[in-house]
Amino acid sequence: MQDNLRLLFIGDIVGKPGRSAVKTLLPGLIDKLKIDFIIANGENAAGGFGITEKVAKELFQQRIHVLTTGNHVWDKKEDISYIAKEPHILRPFNYPPGVPGQGSIIYELNGLKIGVINLAGRVFMTPVDCPFRTGLAEVERISEITKIIIVDIHAEATSEKIALGYYLDGKVSAVIGTHTHVQTADERILPGGTAYITDVGMTGPLDSIIGIEVPQIIERFLYQMPKKFEVAKGRTVFSAVVVDVNTKTGLARSIQRLYLTGQ
């Protein structure tokens, strides 16, 4: 069994520009960086809000193994039944009991078992169950099967994400933040051996306000009136992190940010 797993985690894919950036850049990155396993947050991949069966299949064709989501997971209501039955698309694990879909997966890759857990934060977000208690319980369950566990914490508050990172330090391979669409420069290995970053950032239109056309967002702030949001066009950005994991201990060896801009 290989002693190192190289993981690529792609930040929130926004609309067609984000999908195009993935299609253009991912094949070269896989070869250049010798990537073994790919996770991407896809909750904004379909028109900037939600995910559909067609879009998910398009992303899986790009060799993405697992798609995580967040608070926009149900925005495309016509595809709830697909998300509910597709094990490689995760919705936040700490949603209330009875919510469709699954919040974690144990993925088998060439004989190696990899756990992925999707959690949602509660600060400035829609109320959900406690990500700390529910997350730890699922970590403990999965750790009976594999030591390699990746956590996507989809949350607004920096403090909540950092707190979860330390709470799970030494128990998981990586805690990776999503949701704000702005990449942070605080990637590091925590004292217990868990790779951490507050937000991996966005993969989508660069000349935008978190993926949306600039005038539309400015107008919303100026007038506080309802406004239809559209995914911006133009140059793209590809935001991700590369994490090396010791497959024997499940702890991280390194974490590196990627921030690639294109045409």
Instruction: Give me 202's structure tokens.
Output: 């966005």
Cβ atoms < 10 Å from Cβ of 251: 22
DSSP 94-154: TSPTT-SSBSEEEEEETTEEEEEEEEE--TTS---S-HHHHHHHHHHHHHTT-S-EEEEEE
88 is catalytic: no
Host H or E run for residue 38? strand 37-41
Rounded to whole angstroms, how far apart are CA atoms 188 and 194? 8
Q: One of 72, 154, 179, 181 is an active-site residue; which one? A: 72
Contact 37, 109 (CB under 8 A): yes
Q: Are strands 112-120 and 174-178 parallel, antiparallel or unpaired?
A: unpaired
CA 121, 123, 128, 134 torsion: positive or negative? positive
261 φ/ψ angles, rounded to the nearest 5 degrees: -105, 145
9 φ/ψ angles, rounded to the nearest 5 degrees: -115, 120
Instruction: Give me 125's structure tokens.
Output: 């977000």
Query: Which of the residues are catalytic?
Result: 72
